[in-house]
Structure 1
Amino acid sequence: MQNWKKKLLNTAIQLDDIFDKQVYRLRQRLGIMDTIHVFPFRTYGTPHHVYVRGRVLEDKKIASGSTTDHLFTNLLNMYKRFETDEVPGATLQLDLPGGPVKVVSDKEGYFVFNFKPATPLLTQKLYLTLPLQLVDAPGPFTKAVVNAEMMIPPADAEYGIISDIDDTIIRTGATNLVAMSKTVLFSNAVTRLPFAGVTAFYQALQLGRNGKRNNPFFYVSSSPWNLYDLLIDYMDHHDIPQGPLLLRDFGIQSESFMSGNYMSHKFIAIKQILDTYPHLNFVLVGDSGEQDPGIYQEVVKHFPGRIICMYIRDVAAGNKQEIAQQVALELKTAGVEMILTEHTVKAAEHAAANGLIFTAEIAAIVQDEKEDLGQVPGKVEPGIL
């Protein structure tokens, strides 16, 4: 970043910190703080490495969406997500077999547990549930225990899947500002619609060829953490396999706020996943609308032999489509196939031909795609694209 930009960013951060502190103290004195709540994020780790993170916020009481929600209700809930009241200086405790561990939330309300446990964490399930509680905070709170979910991929997982979100599994129109704004501001977890066939294809990838349904999913997106609850509810509603969401900080504290470079966020997040599981190879899924092909190409360069293949949803036209096609040619030379397609079934056929999913799953994916498109009955939501 240029020197003047760094100075401007540092000044903006200082002013933002001063303003936040003054507003927080004023609300404390006036006694108008809402109840403080802990929001743990779904994370990933290993039996020998605990990584749990989340955020402490005043509870805005945002309800899960429904098909009957008015557009104004969705807009109000979106406003609440971005107009957060962070709680700095809150003490959180994670209870483990080797004893409790405590951390304190930072000035944006974020907290991170990142350590090696005294006793290895063993589980027969894909997710390990860890008791987490708020033990002290500068405001009204209830000492309730919440469950932090940490995914630990089993040793017999065949491969992992790292997927983008916007315009990969959710039709957001990220390449069109008006369409994207309409989707982001006026829809909810139920009315946001997936691309046709995504649910069945992702379930087939999770099932793999061993039939144990334990191939781990990771979702890496440039969307802000403010949308975490919405994205989790969306995936649950549409039966898309659960997985850690690796989003980005939307605040002024982030350098990407000034630089606009979100490529580094995605690359770093993917690198950390591959570094954490050196024994596991990965399938990458994204779209051609933004920077996914270029980011994934860099991943291949830094981790030779670790990327099985890529599936890129073709949502772009013109220059971006040409760039994606060029990346596909370069990757083929490097020995990695990048399937650029508008249709989920084509990606599924490639996956079956290359031993990633059962061939029998293709029929279910075709059916799911037809139901999503409204070509055959089976799903309530109309107009899924």
Structure 2
Amino acid sequence: MQDWKKKLSSYLEKTDDSLDLMMQRLRNSLNLYKPLHIVPYRSYGTVNRLYLKGRVLANKGVTSAADNDSLWKNLENMYRRFESDEVRDATIKVNFQEQEHTISTDREGYFVLNIEPSTPLELEDIWHEMEVELHAADISSFEPGVKAKAHVLVPPPDAEYGVISDIDDTIVLTSATDVLMMSKHVFLNNARSRLPFAGVSAFYRSLQLGRNGKRNNPFFYVSSSPWNMYDLLHDFLDINDIPAGPLLLRDFGLMQNKFFGSDHMSHKFKEIQNILLTYPHLNFVLIGDSGQQDAPIYKEVIKEFPGRIICVYIRDVELPDRAEIVNVITEELKGTVDMILVKDTATAAQHAAETGLIYQEEVQKVEEQKDIDTSDAPGTTTTQPPAPISKDTRGSRN
């Protein structure tokens, strides 16, 4: 059975590669490529090594979200995101600490680079900026001077803990268990019209603040959403004043390592595993929902990394059979790690205060934000403008 899968995967990989190369050559010969742009992804690293990932694509003209965007406009933008034209074998130059690093994009336009800082990092801020430049590409529309800013998170040594959070149905309404409703929420909304769960921004900010008052606890967002959704999710976090953090999404395709075995559970487990291995001296809070496989994934994380998980919050999506799965796992973990099935963020905040993760007075702020969010008219996220977000935590949008 495994031999059959390997042979089919190898065949699909070669076919996919040939089709991609043929389509790039065809688009290029017809001069169909739009101006090119670089999409750097918020990433993470340590004082000894910074990890950078991004993609080179044709610029399809996806517009920034506006409050008055029509459903058709949102659908058009979503189509442009998924009908992406990647640029393979492009040369990327990355400048950091006055040193230049060169790398090429792979067959799907991705580039990945590990950089060892030449001088010690200044850790007053958790974000570190790099300049990324498109140096060469075998595309007719290529023009020199295409640049972007990439941002890499490095937790400071006095961070109290880190937070790893799911996105869909954890911080934003997606209805992932209902295909029709999920399609409506995902394809017909934008970063401004998609709704965060009531009080989630205040709760996450309280966890970022912690008890040392420095607001330097790092956040990581792990999702099975495709990388094509990166700009929408990036903007959603910023617009709703939810702490910035690396977005670790998933690539869809026929490649060998994606066609078999790279399901929702294995993708999220691998990303969380990488984070915990990167920061062996930092413990974590895990946040997810009961709609998919978050509780079983987090249980496996707890087993592999004993003593590293402080607690787990699972938002109840109000499906009894899914809640029962969480309750069973909660009993299995009893005496080891608290896994709390919560109806709302205020309940999670109260538990966090009782266990010393946040200040008690933060609970009231979460409750107040929850009431504001709940009372808002449809299509809005808050009756008050969110607090300003500093430039260095926003990452780059091209």
TM-score range, shorter chain: over 0.9
Please tell me whether residue 373 in structure 1 is matched to residue 362 in structure 2.
no
Please tell me whether residue 240 in structure 1 is matched to residue 242 in structure 2.
yes
Give the Å deviation of 1:254.
5.5
Please tell me whether residue 348 in structure 1 is matched to residue 388 in structure 2.
no
Q: Which runs of 5 or more structure 2 residues have no equivalent in the other structure? A: 384-398
User: Which 4+ runs in 1 deviate beyond 6 A?
Assistant: none
> Does the Cα contact within 8 Å between 2:203 and 2:349 map onto a contact in 1?
yes
Question: Which of 247, 250, 253 is the equivalent residue of 2:252?
Answer: 250
CA distance in structure 1 between the partners assigned to 2:279 and 2:127 by the alignment: 16
SS at match of 1:25: helix
CA distance in structure 1 between the partners assigned to 2:41 and 2:319 by the alignment: 35
Q: 1:136-285 to 2 correspondence within 5 Å?
A: 136-139=136-139, 140-253=142-255, 255-259=257-261, 261-285=263-287
CA distance in structure 2 between the partners assigned to 1:101 and 1:306 by the alignment: 35
Higher relative contact order (CA 8 A, sep 6+): 2
Q: Which runs of 5 or more structure 1 residues have no equivalent in the other structure? A: none
Please tell me whether residue 37 in structure 1 is matched to residue 37 in structure 2.
yes
Q: Which moved more, 1:173-182 or 1:259-268?
A: 259-268
Structure 1 residues 134 and 123 mapped into 2: Cα distance closer, same or farther (>3 Å)?
farther
Give the Å deviation of 1:136.
1.1
SS at match of 1:95: strand
Give the Å deviation of 1:317.
2.0
CA distance in structure 2 between the partners assigned to 1:380 and 1:320 by the alignment: 29
CA distance in structure 2 between the partners assigned to 1:309 and 1:278 by the alignment: 17
Aligned to 1:135: 135
Aligned to 2:100: 100
Which amino acid counterpart does residue 351 of structure 1 have in structure 2? A
Aligned to 2:62: 62
> Does the Cα contact within 8 Å between 2:126 and 2:153 map onto a contact in 1?
yes
CA distance in structure 1 between the partners assigned to 2:53 and 2:328 by the alignment: 38
CA distance in structure 2 between the partners assigned to 1:269 and 1:343 by the alignment: 26
Aligned to 2:387: none
Give the Å deviation of 1:115.
3.8
CA distance in structure 2 between the partners assigned to 1:279 and 1:381 by the alignment: 36
> Does the Cα contact within 8 Å between 1:175 and 1:316 map onto a contact in 2?
no
Structure 1 residues 382 and 282 mapped into 2: Cα distance closer, same or farther (>3 Å)?
closer
CA distance in structure 2 between the partners assigned to 1:327 and 1:45 by the alignment: 32
Relative to the length of structure 2, the TM-score reads: 0.91
Which amino acid counterpart does residue 63 of structure 2 have in structure 1? A
Residues 110-163 of structure 1: CA deviation (Å, up to 9, x unaligned):
000114333333342110111111111112133143211000111111100000
Aligned to 1:297: 299
Aligned to 1:82: 82
SS at match of 1:268: helix
Q: How many residues align?
A: 380
> Does the Cα contact within 8 Å between 1:256 and 1:262 map onto a contact in 2?
no
Aligned to 2:117: 117
Relative to the length of structure 1, the TM-score reads: 0.94
